[in-house]
Structure formats: C-alpha cells, structure tokens
Chain A
C-alpha cells in the first residue's frame, strides 16, 4: 500500500547540508499498526511528512495505493492528501474559532462533500469518539484529551487509507495519553492503518511493528 524506494531528503541548515533521510526503503501494508522511534533529528518526522505528502523527497520514488505520487504537483498532492491521509498532531492543530464539530467537518468542507452527507458522517464520528456532548464547544473549552479526540475524528472524517500521528500523546498527561492511544488502537482494530511517531518506548511496545531510526536511516524493523 505504501512503498518507498530509495527515498532521500536533504535540508540546507546554515549553509550546511543535513541528510534527514538517506536512501530509505519501506513497505507498509494495509491495516498495519506501526511505530517509528528514534532520537531527535533522526529523521522520523521527515519520513512522516514525506509519507503524508506534506514534503517531497529529493530522490527516490513513493507509491501510494499503487499510484506513483512523486510526480504529482502541489494541488494534486493536496487532493490525494485529502482523500487518503489523516493527520494527528502533537499540538492538536484545531482551528480555535471553530467548534469541535466544525473542526471535524473541515476536511469534508474542503472536499466539497454535500451537507447532508457531512451531517451523516459527523453524527457517526461524534458518537464513535464520544464527543456528542462537546460538539458545540470551541477548542479552548475542551480538555487536551478531548482536543486530540476531535483531531482524530477529523483525521478519520474522509475515511483515509492511513492515519499519521506525530507524537500524539506528547502534549498530554499519562492517563489522557493512554486514552488517546486506545482511540488510535481502535482505529487500527477497525481495519485502519496507523503510523505513530513517538519518543515513548511504552507506546512503541504496544504497536505491532516497530521501526527504529538513526541519522536518517532505518536501523531496526521488528514485528510482533
């Protein structure tokens, strides 16, 4: 489903080349629950951004659901992102002036889905993520855990191929982090593909496939 071949990404920082990714090959199949771990600067976020089509590799090829996406232009990438990728961020990234339900609705609004269908999906998502009572609240009226649930519901609203979570518990206390993690695991149990970037070995241990990264390369790939 996701096939990366010889992906490389170099940044220019202060006139010096930094190899964030060097020659990465990776294959992820449908329904996997995968964690990416490694120290800061090891390239895990860059990998996530490239898988999420937010960033382009300097070299290599990327195939998503059998389609070569390396050759697409920005607007085509945006459309693929809209249909196939769901993002969950460390800092939630909810739009502060919009209510929970409006935040969840945003990807569907951008996709131009008609309001009746949006309503149907919203009802289902609110129920699934236990947000019915909080639907009309703005992010500043929600707890961290609720914010992240809203973000996950938003990521799921378009029925994506893969959920990409960048330190989804990094900004939450332990208990709330566990709660959010179990929400993500439920997505996986329902057949979704979940990729989590994390520092936390405990979270890593719960996943079914663990990638270890160091200096822009994948140095470990364990399953089970």
Chain B
C-alpha cells in the first residue's frame, strides 16, 4: 500500500465517526495541554527564583562565621560550631585577593528607633559604603554611608523608605536626627522602595556605619561578610582566596563557611526542576489515560468493523497492512490531539503571563517535545493489542456474521 493511500484510508475512518474522533482528540489534547501548562508554571517559578537571586547582587559570595559539620555519634547534632568570631580585621584582610572586587562586612541587630514622639523596632544593619553596590541598593534621597575608614564610627544613618515614612510621615526625613538605643544618628539618605527580596525587606531597615553598630550592639563579631567577585569566572578563585585568608588569620583553622550565590541558586534550581518534573509526570498520567481511551476505542472498532476487516482480508490485505491501518489511525489521533494540546497549553501559558506578568511562564523546550512524543508513544503502545486482534481476525467468520 502507498503511504498516501494509508493516510487517506485512516483519514476517511476518522471522518466517518466525527464524535468519536473529537472525543479522543479532546482526551489527548487535555493530556498534552496539562503537561505544557504544568511545566510552564514550574519553569516560570524557577526563572522567577533565579531572577530574585540575581537581584540580591551579582557574583556574590557570602562568608559566615563558624563551620557547621555533623560528626559521628549523634546524627543531626552540630559539633564544633563557631570556635572563633569573624572580625572587621578579618574582613579588611580580604583586600589582598585579586579576585575580589569589593566586600561589605555586616552586623545585624534589632534596634528601637525613635524620632520625635514615635518609635519603631527595626532591624539595624551595620556595614560599609560598598554594601550599596554589592546588594544593588538604590538611594532615593541624600546619599549612602560615607566612604571612610570602617574602624571609625560616625553618627549617620540611612533608612528604608517605609521606616522613614513611619517615623516622619510626610515630612522630609533627610537631615533629621533619630535615636537608636542610646545613640543619636543623623539621617543622610533614604533608600528607594524595592520591596521584598528573598525574605529581606530593604524598605524596613536602618543602616549605620559598621563601627557604630559594633558599639551599639557591643560586639566585635561580624554576622556576615558579603563579597563580590570580579567576574563570574573569578567566583571560585575568590571563594578559595577567602578560605585561605581566613585560615591564615585563624591559625590554620578553616572555621568560616563560604557560600556562593551560584551554589544556593543551583540548589534552588535543582529543587524546582525536580518539582516541575514530578508534577509534569503526574500530568503525563493523563496522557496514559488518553492512551487507554484510544485502546478502548480501537478495541470497539475491531468489533464494530470486523466485517470490514474481514472484507479487507478477502480483498488481499495482509496482516501487516491491517495493523498499519490501525496504527495510522491512532497516530493521526495522537498527532491531532498533540497539536490541539500544544496550542491550548501555549494559550494557557500566555493567559498565566497576562495574569502574573512578573513570572515568566513558558514551557521549556523539552516539555514541548516530550508531551507530543509521549502522546504518540502511548497511542502506538495502546494500539498494539487491538491492531493485533484485527490482523488475526478470521475472514470467514468475520464475513459470515451479519
């Protein structure tokens, strides 16, 4: 049989029973569309998280005091934590590395911030001028912390947009004095509203010079050192530089933890990818259901069309030809369903983007290939049995029954 004839024959069968064809197309279409939409949502979430991390700063390395490790005896219990504080001098020593562009030591505490009659409890950050560039912060009014020796304290502070609004209302906060604990600071800058970025709201903080924070919270120990590598390629060099410098300064002990942004991002990436795959495979079950539907319909077709199959055999159709006709029919159904499903899925993704413009919903390429491929595969798989049955039909019996 010629390919064109096989296709035409199958097409005539499908056109002969429109409602049956439409129902299967619907089932297949829903399956494919489900996979496309679900993966689009998952991929969108993954890209969203990646963007959020990007907004934290680029080529970022975070240095934490102490080194967490679990050891032997009791599982899950941290042993050997924080033998030594991380100090400003440790941070300043990082200047020696060529892979590091800039760094910002960080102290975090909670402070009672008062201005006039109002008071508010906010997180207080002690840091240096470089924090602004590292964390991609923007100043709406005034200026950021002055670029001076971080060992010396100055009575100035930069406040978040929300804090400024709550303490001073519609008055300009710039140049006003605020009291944090028992110290007074002059407001020299107001951060522009950036909102939440991975659990840390820059609108609700007050930033003071590092030395001021050290005095305020009465501690020398740094909470973190944020380090920016010179380039993406230099991240690992910067990371090992940090580790080496810290070890040298801490008598050969590597008692800090160095996290790269990439590593954190990669972890999130892995988690979200796994999540997407899991949900997508659940959606793919609907494809299997559609496949079973095809099998059902084909089995019914073998019974309903037994006279026709018997006739085809009497007219000289071989077993392989009969099977080919059934497979072609199933493939056409799967193709149609896949096309419809892809269209609906893309439409769904577009609607989702319309509704949540910040999240880039777009099904990944592998889903756009895998969904139709699985549809074809199940169609063929589930047509095996019906096609075999049709090919084995005894023509004498098939033709004799009315």
Q: Is B313 an interface residue (CB 8 A)?
A: yes
Q: Identify which of B319, B321, B396 contacts A54 (C-beta below 8 A).
A: B396
Majority SS of interface residues in chain A?
helix
B9, B310, B316, B319 — which one has the most chain A CB atoms within 10 A of its CB? B316
Chain B residues whose CB sits within 8 angstroms of the CB of A93 once the complex forms: 307, 310-311, 314, 399
| In contact, A109 and B1 (Cβ under 8 angstroms) | yes
| In contact, A55 and B316 (Cβ under 8 angstroms) | no
B9, B16, B318 — which one has the most chain A CB atoms within 10 A of its CB? B318
Once A and B bind, how many residue pairs between them come within 8 Å at the CB atom? 69
| In contact, B399 and A111 (Cβ under 8 angstroms) | no
B401 CB to nearest chain A CB (Å): 10
| In contact, B316 and A111 (Cβ under 8 angstroms) | yes
With CB as the reference atom, state the residue of chain A lying closest to B2. A112
Chain B residues whose CB sits within 8 angstroms of the CB of A44 once the complex forms: none
Chain B residues whose CB sits within 8 angstroms of the CB of A114 once the complex forms: 2
Q: Is B12 an interface residue (CB 8 A)?
A: yes
Given the interface pairs A54-B395, A54-B396, A55-B396, the reply to whether A78 lies near B311 with Cβ below 8 Å is: no
Chain A residues whose CB sits within 8 angstroms of the CB of B307 once the complex forms: 93
Chain A residues whose CB sits within 8 angstroms of the CB of B317 once the complex forms: 78, 82, 110
| In contact, A89 and B2 (Cβ under 8 angstroms) | no
CA–CA, A110 to B2, complex, Å? 8
Given the interface pairs A49-B396, A55-B396, the reply to whether A97 lies near B316 with Cβ below 8 Å is: no
Q: Is B320 an interface residue (CB 8 A)?
A: yes
| In contact, A78 and B316 (Cβ under 8 angstroms) | yes
With CB as the reference atom, state the residue of chain A lying closest to B13. A97
| In contact, B316 and A110 (Cβ under 8 angstroms) | yes
Question: How many A residues face the partner with a CB closer than 8 A?
Answer: 31
Q: Is A210 an interface residue (CB 8 A)?
A: no
Q: Is B315 an interface residue (CB 8 A)?
A: yes
| In contact, B399 and A107 (Cβ under 8 angstroms) | no
CA–CA, A83 to B315, complex, Å? 9
With CB as the reference atom, state the residue of chain B lying closest to A94. B311
| In contact, A154 and B315 (Cβ under 8 angstroms) | yes
| In contact, A107 and B1 (Cβ under 8 angstroms) | no
CA–CA, A79 to B400, complex, Å? 22
Q: Is A52 an interface residue (CB 8 A)?
A: yes
Those of B352-402 within 8 Å (CB) of chain A: 395-396, 399-400, 402
With CB as the reference atom, state the residue of chain B lying closest to A49. B396
| In contact, B396 and A75 (Cβ under 8 angstroms) | no
Given the interface pairs A55-B396, A97-B16, A109-B1, the reply to whether A82 lies near B315 with Cβ below 8 Å is: yes
Q: Is B274 an interface residue (CB 8 A)?
A: no
Q: Identify which of A78, A97, A109 contacts B313 (C-beta below 8 A).
A: A78
| In contact, A109 and B9 (Cβ under 8 angstroms) | yes
Chain A residues whose CB sits within 8 angstroms of the CB of B318 once the complex forms: 74-75, 78-79
Q: Is B5 an interface residue (CB 8 A)?
A: yes
CA–CA, A95 to B8, complex, Å? 14
Chain B residues whose CB sits within 8 angstroms of the CB of A83 once the complex forms: 316
| In contact, B1 and A110 (Cβ under 8 angstroms) | yes
| In contact, B314 and A81 (Cβ under 8 angstroms) | yes
CA–CA, A107 to B9, complex, Å? 13
With CB as the reference atom, state the residue of chain B lying closest to A92. B311
Q: Is B308 an interface residue (CB 8 A)?
A: yes
A195 CB to nearest chain B CB (Å): 15
Q: Is B23 an interface residue (CB 8 A)?
A: no
Chain A residues whose CB sits within 8 angstroms of the CB of B308 once the complex forms: 95
Q: Identify which of A81, A95, A115 contacts B316 (C-beta below 8 A).
A: A81
CA–CA, A78 to B316, complex, Å? 4
Q: Is B289 an interface residue (CB 8 A)?
A: no
Given the interface pairs A54-B396, A97-B12, A109-B5, the reply to whether A74 lies near B314 with Cβ below 8 Å is: no
A23 CB to nearest chain B CB (Å): 21
| In contact, A75 and B314 (Cβ under 8 angstroms) | no
Chain A residues whose CB sits within 8 angstroms of the CB of B312 once the complex forms: 106, 110
Contact with B along A105-123 (1 / 0, CB 8 A): 0110111101100000000
Contact with B along A99-141 (1 / 0, CB 8 A): 0001000110111101100000000000000000000000000
Q: Identify which of B2, B13, B320, B395 contacts A75 (C-beta below 8 A).
A: B320
A18 CB to nearest chain B CB (Å): 14
Q: Is A33 an interface residue (CB 8 A)?
A: no
Q: Identify which of B1, B319, B402 contacts A91 (C-beta below 8 A).
A: B402
Chain B residues whose CB sits within 8 angstroms of the CB of A214 once the complex forms: none
Q: Is A62 an interface residue (CB 8 A)?
A: no
With CB as the reference atom, state the residue of chain B lying closest to A95. B308
Chain B residues whose CB sits within 8 angstroms of the CB of A52 once the complex forms: 314
Chain B residues whose CB sits within 8 angstroms of the CB of A81 once the complex forms: 314-316
Chain A residues whose CB sits within 8 angstroms of the CB of B311 once the complex forms: 93, 95
CA–CA, A82 to B310, complex, Å? 13
| In contact, B1 and A112 (Cβ under 8 angstroms) | yes
- What are some 22 contacts across the A-B interface (CB < 8 A)? A49-B396, A52-B314, A54-B396, A54-B399, A75-B320, A78-B316, A79-B316, A81-B314, A82-B315, A82-B316, A82-B317, A89-B399, A93-B307, A93-B310, A93-B311, A93-B399, A95-B311, A97-B12, A106-B315, A110-B316, A111-B316, A154-B315
Known pairs A95-B308, A107-B316 / 6 extra A-B pairs, C-beta < 8 Å = A54-B314, A87-B314, A95-B311, A109-B1, A110-B1, A110-B316
The 4 A-B residue pairs with the shortest CB-CB distance, nearest first, are A82-B316, A97-B16, A75-B318, A78-B318
